Structure 1
Amino acid sequence: MRVGLLTYSTRPRGGVVHTLAVAEALAAAGVDVHVFGLGTPGEQFFRPTTVPFTLFPAPTDTTSLEEKVFASIDSLTTGLAAVADRFDVLHSQDCISARAAARVRDAGAAVTVVRTVHHVDDFTTQALIDCQRKAIVEPDHVLVVSDYWRRQLHEEYGITARIVRNGVDPARFLPIEPQRAAALRATLGADDRFVFLTVGGVEPRKGTKTLFEALDILRDRGRHPVLAVIGGHSFRDYGQYEREAMGMVSALGIDVVRLGTLADEEVAAWYRGADALAFPSLNEGFGLAVLEALAADLPVVASRLPVFREFLVDERDALLPTPGDPYALADALERVMTDATLRKTLVEGGRAVVPSFTWAASAARHVAIYQSL
């Protein structure tokens, strides 16, 4: 069986992280797998990988999101058309590569197109709404990573999708030396203050403004944690939201340090160097950062989204306040800050969750589905 896994980027966004992890687990299971993506000449993925990969040229001269999306589809289509006959399955993780794979198939390539829908974006232009819909209905088979999105695709698109859960590799998040943790925290000027970590950058879907409002509420209560923000690269342009959110930081006087896009090893170290994860998302496909935090023994404050409630239990392995409610979020953050017993309970609860999510199990499920095709 020859499988091409497709992704739209080389950066550490959720779909790209998922793609590399699944590819490596498939290869370990004996599958002939190759990863295809978009990148600049000489570029590599955000971390080294043991699987072979090819990067087609990413568009660089586009002026709008629409232009960027359709130029990316064109580039992937051109690249895949030259290699599709080498594969039995082209498996996409996003709208862009799904449209490209479907075009190659429709042009005569004898391949089966599989798409994993991680979540559905809130596009506002009709062209992108239509493009996203086609990327969901055109593939031969659709997978999802949660039951919530299985139901959503059935209700909104009439699609019958199969669930393949995400995984996590605990070996990536081993304990670090106290000196390393102290050095990381020193870069924040944190001293002995409580450090919250958030992953994914500053954007609407991650609930960043709600998090900043919650930090302001904590400041009024005499609590002064430091927030470290990892990530920031996004295919979409959230410039206006980012400017507004960072303007809040200055106006409110809260302590937020943006670390940007980091090497994979540095991200793993921050999971171990922080005191808790703050991940108040408003929309997620699964939330890999939460699973990674659990694997790193980091207490988690997330939000009461259906996808989180599929594998988390409030008060047992995470705190799950109401999404978009800064006061509920502030209450949860304050409890984690001030209650060492609660933090220990959440860490122990997280340790019990992690073994149920392995990339080997995810790969085995993928293989069974590929064979059934």
Structure 2
Amino acid sequence: MRLALLTYSTRPRGGVVHTLALAEALATLGVDVDVWTLGRGGDTTFFRPVADSVTVRAVPFADLGDDESVGARILRSIDVLGRAFSSERASYDVVHAQDCISANAAMASGGCVRTIHHLDTFTTPELVACHERAVVGPTDRICVSAAVAREVDDGWGLRPTVIPNGVDAARFEAGAADGAGRSRWAERFGDYVLALGGIEPRKGSIDLLEAFALLRATRPGLRLVLGGGETLFDYRDYRAAFERRAVELGIVPDIVGTVGEDDLPSLVAQAAALAMVSTKEGFGLAALEALTAGVPVVARDLPVLREVFGETVSYATDPVTIAQRLDTVLSSPPAAAAGRELARGFTWGAAARAHLEVYESLALSGTR
């Protein structure tokens, strides 16, 4: 079987991490996998090395700077990826897109499978249309959690196949054992609460600021570290509001941006706690990685996170309870065994086998 997996970026966003891990696991099963992506700003490779068994097809995408609106950039992304992909589309048995941009690009020349990681709400008209088409237009749909699949069913009457993410448990367990790496982070930040995913509305970044201000009142030496990759969407207004609120609260968060692939496991493992206070999530992979590294997690009380994590994390609903739960896990860290056992149950091999069943069914029916 020859498979095309499409994603919109080479940077370490959740859907991109998923795409690469799935591609490598499918290649291990004997699938001939090409990963198509936009090479933004001259990128020709992904944020991490990709197994030789997977072919990377990075389509050049020029950076036009701040003069290009979000809507125009979305439309140009779809057009550039779609035109490049259409010339080779006929050579693939199955086409699988991982986000609304790549789904729209794929559908410009035929059908596709689409993974709906989470549903989002946009105000930019081009993004609203991109999101809607990428839900209703694909031939088949996959969700990484039953909670998101229910949202799709409730909103559109469509019933996706549910295939959970995997997690590279060995990598983050190794991070916990990386004394040298952890020491470097400890020397840089001391004791810290970590949040990953960037500064944006969906990640609840301002709620976390408010919570950290409450927590710091009794833990003055604690620091807040924020890491995350790029997003194509324009959250500059939210980022400005975040920065204003940080000044008002007297907080200086440590913003590390994109963290190198080799450095991320020890950064996670050294954290006193991981805060995942997103208002929307598809699965919560970063929290699962933290549990694997033995780090306690405080999560927003969302159905999807209850589904994935059960009682292995602490749940909160607002800045006050986020601060309270963080204080509790910092004072009395829970035993790591249950979280590690949970994480080991999610493997990319299992995810790849489940995807292959979907692909084979589509190939047999003549649907791609």
Tell me, yes or no, whether TM beats 0.5: yes
Q: Percent identity?
A: 41
Partner secondary structure for residue 262 of structure 2: helix
The yes-or-no answer on 1:333 pairing with 2:320 is: no
Amino acid at match of 1:180: G
Kindly indicate whether the alpha-carbon contact (under 8 Å) linking 1:6 and 1:91 is maintained by their aligned counterparts in 2: yes
The yes-or-no answer on 1:301 pairing with 2:298 is: yes
- Looking at structure 2, the residues matched to 211 and 86 of structure 1 have their Cα atoms a distance apart, in angstroms, of 47
Q: 1:131 to 1:222 in 2, by over 3 A?
A: closer
- Looking at structure 2, the residues matched to 288 and 248 of structure 1 have their Cα atoms a distance apart, in angstroms, of 28
1:127: how far off?
Answer: 3.4
The yes-or-no answer on 1:360 pairing with 2:349 is: yes
1:220: how far off?
Answer: 2.8
Deviates more, 1:56-65 or 1:274-283: 56-65
Kindly indicate whether the alpha-carbon contact (under 8 Å) linking 2:164 and 2:351 is maintained by their aligned counterparts in 1: yes
- Looking at structure 1, the residues matched to 210 and 43 of structure 2 have their Cα atoms a distance apart, in angstroms, of 41
Taking structure 1 as the reference length, what is the TM-score of the superposition? 0.92
Amino acid at match of 1:160: R
Partner secondary structure for residue 38 of structure 1: strand
Partner secondary structure for residue 73 of structure 1: helix
Q: Which residue, out of 313, 317, 322, partners 2:312?
A: 317
* Gap regions ≥5 residues in structure 1: 106-111
- Looking at structure 2, the residues matched to 12 and 42 of structure 1 have their Cα atoms a distance apart, in angstroms, of 13
The yes-or-no answer on 1:266 pairing with 2:263 is: yes
- Aligned partner of 2:213 in structure 1 is 216
- Aligned partner of 1:136 in structure 2 is 135
Partner secondary structure for residue 356 of structure 2: helix
The yes-or-no answer on 1:17 pairing with 2:13 is: no
1:262: how far off?
Answer: 1.5
For residues 47-86 of structure 1, what are the structure 2 equivalents within 5 Å?
47-50=48-51, 51-61=54-64, 63-86=68-91
- Aligned partner of 1:183 in structure 2 is 184
Partner secondary structure for residue 331 of structure 1: helix
1:349: how far off?
Answer: 1.8
The yes-or-no answer on 1:252 pairing with 2:241 is: no
- Aligned partner of 1:108 in structure 2 is none
1:276: how far off?
Answer: 1.3
Amino acid at match of 1:120: L
- Looking at structure 1, the residues matched to 77 and 62 of structure 2 have their Cα atoms a distance apart, in angstroms, of 6
4+ aligned runs moved over 6 Å, structure 1: none
1:42: how far off?
Answer: 5.2
Taking structure 2 as the reference length, what is the TM-score of the superposition? 0.93
Deviates more, 1:54-63 or 1:258-267: 54-63
1:232: how far off?
Answer: 4.4
- Looking at structure 2, the residues matched to 344 and 123 of structure 1 have their Cα atoms a distance apart, in angstroms, of 37
- Aligned partner of 2:7 in structure 1 is 7
- Aligned partner of 1:97 in structure 2 is 102
Deviates more, 1:176-185 or 1:164-173: 176-185
1:146: how far off?
Answer: 0.8
Partner secondary structure for residue 5 of structure 1: strand
What is the Cα-based RMSD across aligned positions, in Å? 1.5
Amino acid at match of 1:3: L
Kindly indicate whether the alpha-carbon contact (under 8 Å) linking 2:74 and 2:126 is maintained by their aligned counterparts in 1: no
Partner secondary structure for residue 95 of structure 2: strand
- Aligned partner of 1:109 in structure 2 is none
Count of equivalent residues: 355
For residues 152-191 of structure 1, what are the structure 2 equivalents within 5 Å?
152-173=151-172, 174=174, 175-188=176-189, 190=190
Kindly indicate whether the alpha-carbon contact (under 8 Å) linking 2:27 and 2:33 is maintained by their aligned counterparts in 1: yes
The yes-or-no answer on 1:344 pairing with 2:338 is: no
